[in-house]
Amino acid sequence: MVVRTSSSPSTALAELRATPPLVQCITNTVVTNFTANALLALGASPAMCDIPGEAGLFAGIAGGVLVNLGTPTAEQRDAAREAVAVGTPWVLDPVAVGALPVRTALAHELLASRPTIVRGNASEILALAGAGAGGRGVDSTDSPEAAREAARSLAVRTGGTVAVSGPVDLIVDAERTALVPGGSALLTKVTGGGCALGAAMAGLLAVTDGFTAATTASAIWAAASERAEAASSGPGSFAVAFLDALATLEPAELDGRVTA
């Protein structure tokens, strides 16, 4: 198991750009292009390597791995099992777990491999912790605060970090709690906003610990989305402006974004 030391969000972003890390994405087919572009804009190097027989090999050279269950085909499920067995720090994004049986069973199976970060909306986290039935498809029907206890229980169970996305992002591990307020509601109008956030967390795992990676990525998303909203007139222009904001965001802009 690879262990990264903790750092501040500004330092973590600077170190990511200086590296830059190779990020393996076993992810939702709906969002691969946006996710790859977001990682490139941020300063990481994406690779959508999700073929059984290659996924495990690639995880061994990646700095971080994302497993996103948005479109869990049989091939992707086997690739995910291979990748998480390697020991590279990884992120589980349990998209739409709860009501849908295949991805729900897989998410519980993968939890045994102890993800470094679990990232989801409040309904997904509640369902994964056995405290809820899931949301409305990929949309949450619960608030991050309502998922605080469930998130903590998952963090204790996995020994990692749980990040609950919402109007105020909630990040917890077994002992620590952080809140990241702000951000633009237009992120919910662009396919892949949350999925790419999970990929950013995976990239940051190459340079820092899970708790810092989750809080840093959430702070980046809040700052960049606010800047993008100010420069756009709707979801289409926002998506382009968001990529530009990821590329031009200065590490110092993350200072003060994370509160205890």
Residue 137's pLDDT is 47
State both tokens at 66.
């994302």
Q: How far is it, in rounded angstroms, from Cα 174 to Cα 159?
A: 7
Residue type, 212: T
Residue 144's pLDDT is 74
Residue 244's pLDDT is 98
The tally of CA atoms less than 13 A away on the side-chain side of residue 72 is: 22
Residues of the chain short of pLDDT 50, as ranges, are 1, 133, 135-139
DSSP H/E element including 41: helix 32-42
Tell me the sheet residues that pair with 23.
Answer: 46, 64
Q: How far is it, in rounded angstroms, from Cα 158 to Cα 173?
A: 9
The length of the chain in residues reads 260
State both tokens at 134.
């899931």
Residue 131's pLDDT is 74
Give residue-wise pLDDT tens across range 84-120: 999 999 999 999 898 789 999 999 999 999 999 999 9
